[in-house]
Amino acid sequence: MDLTLSSEQESIREAVRGVLGARLSARRAQGGVAAERGLDLALWREAAALGWLGLALPEAAGGAGYGLPEEMILFVELGRSLAPGPWLGTVLATHAFVGVPALRDELADVVAGARCVAVVDDPVDAVGEGSRLTGAAQGIADGGAADVFLVLGRQRVRCVPAGASGVHVATRESLDPTRRLADVTFEDAPAELLPADAVPLRRAAMVLVAAEALGIAERTLEGSVAYAKTRHQFGRPIGAFQAVKHRCADMAVRAEVARSIVTFAAVALRDAEPEAPRHVHEAKVLATSAALANAHDNVQNHGGMGFTWEADAHLYLKRAWMLEHSFGTRTAHLEALAAPWRAG
């Protein structure tokens, strides 16, 4: 039993944090939070060169040979830094493509950062279940940056090049200025059917979205604490007032709850523990709740500054809402958790 980061995992975290800190703070200072495609190409290439996109791939397949917990570490950092880009779809694609001989080159391109993948979560097979896709998939995160769409159906997994015939992509803004959406329409679009099962891929996605939310819960806690130590009113730092201090304490509780259950779920899923599916839903619920509540409190703790566009506080809250609507809302996950209990 060990839920702490190993020294190797700590060095992954520090390396990722260092690169993201250096790249993204500069970007924000320039005022443009997201590039046109919703992708910071220089950062993406650097991330690929550093092996971030293939963390859980076997070394024989060109990856680092780690697993879901290490991908979780990456996504916590992506959340902390509000990194733009189709990270989730691209990392999931490496899970789905590995071991498929026909996709060996495609996988190599994905890991090398030459092919971006956006994920279409379609648990009701709204675009069909076969190898020709027809239907609309709306609000696909980072869809405009995608070279390929990874479509997770109820059971089946398919991939479709964004440039294939019958694929129409219309990008639009979202609530979150750092994440663009796309409405994707498939008209009898040819898809490649993959041997992967959508159910475990969807669970991995939930853990990674939860990890990104955890990053937001952590980062907003730290931002609030730092501000409460330096901002003075009534001749004292505001963090000395219990109203502010206790709000920060509640943020710390939420962050610790999220950190613990997300870590536990990631390891349980890696090890195929029987209770893992339940813990994945729990991690998604608790981590997005923590992100939303902490980001909200972080705006409050920053007072008037927190209400400005210039401050980062609103960006964390907006990203938290994007994550709430990625791979199932809290209500949906609570219903999924309650269902077997109602039957039992």
Partner 1 sequence: MDIRFSAAEEAFRADARAWLEANVPRGPRPAGVDLRERRDYDLAWQRRMFEGGWAGVSWPREFGGRGASLMEQVIWYEEYARAGAPEITTTFVGLNHAGPTLIACGSEEQKAYHLPRILRGDVVWCQGFSEPNAGSDLASLQTRAVFDGAELVVSGQKIWTSFGNVAEFQELLVRTDPEAPRHRGISWVICAMDSPGIDIRPITTLTGDQHFCEVFYDEVRIPLRNVVGQLHDGWRVAMATLGFERGTAFLSEQIRLARRLEDLAALARSVPGPRAGRAIDDDEIGRRLALARAEVAALRAMTYRSVSLAVRTGVPGAEASIIRLFFSELVQRIDLLALDILGPAAVERCEGSPAARWADSYLAGLSQTIGGGTKDIQRNIIGDRVLGLPR
Least Cβ distance, residue 215 to partner 1 (angstroms) = 17
Cα 75 from Cα 39, distance rounded (Å): 16
Least Cβ distance, residue 209 to partner 1 (angstroms) = 16
Q: How far is CA 125 from the centre of its chain?
A: 22
**Per rule CB under 8 A, is residue 250 in the interface with partner 1?**
yes
Neighbours of 242 (CB within 10 A): 9
**Per rule CB under 8 A, is residue 282 in the interface with partner 1?**
yes
Query: Is residue 261 within 8 Å of 188, Cβ to Cβ?
Result: no
Cα 243 from Cα 121, distance rounded (Å): 41
Give the angle 100-274-271 at the CA atoms, nearest 5°.
Answer: 50
Which CB, 67 or 190, lies closer to partner 1? 67
Least Cβ distance, residue 228 to partner 1 (angstroms) = 6
Mark residues 214-243: x for contact with partner 1 by CB under 8 A, - for none. -------x---x--xx------xx-xx-x-
- Of 38-46, 91-99, 121-129, 280-288, which part binds partner 1 (CB under 8 A)? 280-288
Cα 257 from Cα 326, distance rounded (Å): 20
**Per rule CB under 8 A, is residue 279 in the interface with partner 1?**
yes
Q: Return the DSSP state at 5.
A: P
Q: Which residues within the stretch 285-304 sit at the binding site for partner 1 (CB under 8 A)?
A: 285-286
Which CB, 142 or 282, lies closer to partner 1? 282
Size of the site for partner 1 (CB under 8 A): 51
Please select the residue that binds partner 1; options are 256, 293, 318, 325, rule is CB under 8 A. Answer: 256
Please select the residue that binds partner 1; options are 146, 248, 315, 322, rule is CB under 8 A. Answer: 248
Least Cβ distance, residue 15 to partner 1 (angstroms) = 18
Query: Is residue 146 within 8 Å of 119, Cβ to Cβ?
Result: no
User: Tokens standing for 295?
Assistant: 């980001």
- Of 42-50, 116-124, 274-282, 293-301, which part binds partner 1 (CB under 8 A)? 274-282
Give the three-state DSSP class for 134: strand
- Of 98-106, 136-144, 169-177, 279-287, which part binds partner 1 (CB under 8 A)? 279-287
Which CB, 175 or 253, lies closer to partner 1? 253
Please select the residue that binds partner 1; options are 81, 171, 263, 326, rule is CB under 8 A. Answer: 263
Q: What is the DSSP string of 65-107?
A: ---HHHHHHHHHHHHHHT--S-HHHHHHHHHHHTT-GGGHHHH
**Per rule CB under 8 A, is residue 139 in the interface with partner 1?**
no
Which CB, 5 or 15, lies closer to partner 1? 5
**Per rule CB under 8 A, is residue 260 in the interface with partner 1?**
yes
Least Cβ distance, residue 227 to partner 1 (angstroms) = 11
Identity of the residue numbered 248: C
Cα 85 from Cα 39, distance rounded (Å): 5
**Per rule CB under 8 A, is residue 268 in the interface with partner 1?**
yes
Q: Which residues within the stretch 33-92 sit at the binding site for partner 1 (CB under 8 A)?
A: 69
Cα 57 from Cα 108, distance rounded (Å): 11
User: Tokens standing for 60?
Assistant: 């024989």
Cα 101 from Cα 254, distance rounded (Å): 44
Q: What element of type H or E holds 160?
A: strand 156-161
**Per rule CB under 8 A, is residue 273 in the interface with partner 1?**
yes
Burial of 327 (0-12, 13-18, 19+ CB in 10 A): buried
Query: Where along the sequence are the contacts to partner 1 (CB under 8 A)?
Result: 1-6, 9, 69, 221, 225, 228-229, 236-237, 239-240, 242, 245-246, 248-250, 252-253, 256-261, 263-264, 266-268, 271, 273, 278-279, 281-282, 285-286, 331, 334-335, 337-338, 341-342, 344
